[in-house]
Structure 1
Amino acid sequence: MPTLFILFGFKFMFYSNDHTPIHIHAVRGGVSAKFNVLPDVVLVENNGMKPAELKLVESIVEENKDIIIERWNTFFNGNK
């Protein structure tokens, strides 16, 4: 379960057996959310995050979109 970064207590990660489309999981305590990254950052699943938390996490994903895509491709495609 590769962790890309931890910001504001949220762990941003994907699972080693994840699937396309490129997406990221954000987890903190007992809450989590999943965002697709391409073509646009879109919330696809919310498990208990409050609206303010979702807004913060979405902005972090948007700001780090290029890093997330690069790390996804490196991990799953061997940088192909």
Structure 2
Amino acid sequence: MPTVLTIFGLRVVIYPNDHRPAHVHVHVHVQGNGCEAVFNLHCPDGPPELRENYGFSQKELGKIVGALVRNLVELCAEWRARHGHY
């Protein structure tokens, strides 16, 4: 999996050959279990928006969104480099 950012021990991933709109998958795997959330980035200006959540608490999601906002320019650049248009 192509990890493009690590935040709070979580992997932020942009899959190759993925579909639009521009989005990231955020993963954590702990002892065989894990959580995943998918955020549409709304490139280039944001803000990131939660699309799917599998196991993260609201508090965790808030922290993740804050980190995605702080890294939005880089994340959008990564998406564009891998997939072209947003």
Distance 1:57 1:71 in 2: 18
Instruction: Tell me what 1:70 maps to.
Output: 77
Count residues in correspondence.
Answer: 78
- What is the TM-score normalised by the length of structure 2? 0.83
Equivalence map 1:1-12=2 (5 Å):
1-12=1-12
Distance 2:82 2:55 in 1: 28
Runs of 5+ unmatched residues, structure 1: none
Instruction: Tell me what 2:65 maps to.
Output: 58
- What is the TM-score normalised by the length of structure 1? 0.89
When the two chains are superposed, the root-mean-square deviation of aligned CA atoms in Å is 1.5
Structure 1 ranges of 4+ moved more than 6 A: none
Distance 1:2 1:49 in 2: 21
Code of the aligned partner of 1:32: E
Q: Which of 44, 49, 57 is the aligned partner of 1:42?
A: 49
The structure whose RCO (Cα within 8 Å, separation 6+) is larger is 2
